[in-house]
Amino acid sequence: MTVQPIPGTHLFDSAAARKGYALNKMCYSFNDAANREAFKADEDAYCARYGLNEEQRRAVRERNVLALIAAGGNVYYLAKFAGIFSLNVQDLGAQQTGTSVPEFKAKLQSYAKFNDAVKRGELSHG
């Protein structure tokens, strides 16, 4: 059975988990404030300590979220990396979709017209 790919969506599966292990492990270390400081003090040395490959190190240097995901990053761990630069998931969303943050937020806001129908239970039964 062939599973249809989902456009614009990268499942964090075994291939990604294997490929991204070092990158995600580094990001996981950012739960600790001392590690965040150590990264800021010397990014390259910190990446080297976790054994990131060249693709991962370039994506880290460029703060490129799609490249980080292509390199095996999982967004839950990448969020800790982004947090070092005070970037939230809307900043990440704007970057990945090639829009400005206000445009990204406006797109989310455009769904608000459905709020009342879902709240009243009128949408799924249509």
Partner 1 sequence: MAELIGQISTSHVPAIGGAIARRLQQDPYWKPFFDGYPPVRQWLARNRPDVVVVVYNDHGLNFFLDKMPTFAIGAAESYISADEGWGIPIIEPVRGDADLSWAIIEGVIAEEFDVTTCQEMSMDHAVTIPLQLLWPDGPAPVRVVPVSVNTVQHPAPSPARCLKFGQAIGRAIAAFPGKARVLVLSTGGLSHQLDGERAGFINPEFDALCLDALIDDPARLAGYSNHDIVALSGTQGLEILNWITGRGILGGGAAREVYRNYHIPISNTASAVQVLERR
Binding of partner 1 at residue 9 (CB under 8 A)? Answer: yes
Q: Is the dihedral of CA 20, 94, 83, 115 positive or negative?
A: negative
Binding of partner 1 at residue 114 (CB under 8 A)? Answer: yes
Binding of partner 1 at residue 19 (CB under 8 A)? Answer: no
Binding of partner 1 at residue 96 (CB under 8 A)? Answer: yes
Q: What is the dihedral of CA 96, 99, 103, 104, to 10 degrees?
A: 0
Please identify which residue in 37, 40, 45, 89 interacts with partner 1, judged by CB under 8 A: 89
Q: Which amino acid is at 50?
A: Y
Residue in the structure block whose two tokens are 């150590």: 38
Count the residues of the shown chain that bind partner 1, applying the rule CB under 8 A: 59
Q: How far apart are CA 26 and CA 35, in angstroms?
A: 9
What does residue 86 show for φ and ψ, rounded to 5 degrees?
Answer: 55, 30
**Contact positions vs partner 1 (CB under 8 A):** 3-4, 6-14, 17, 21, 24-25, 27-28, 30-33, 36, 65-66, 69, 74-80, 82-84, 88-90, 92-93, 96-97, 104-105, 107-109, 111-112, 114-115, 117-119, 121-125
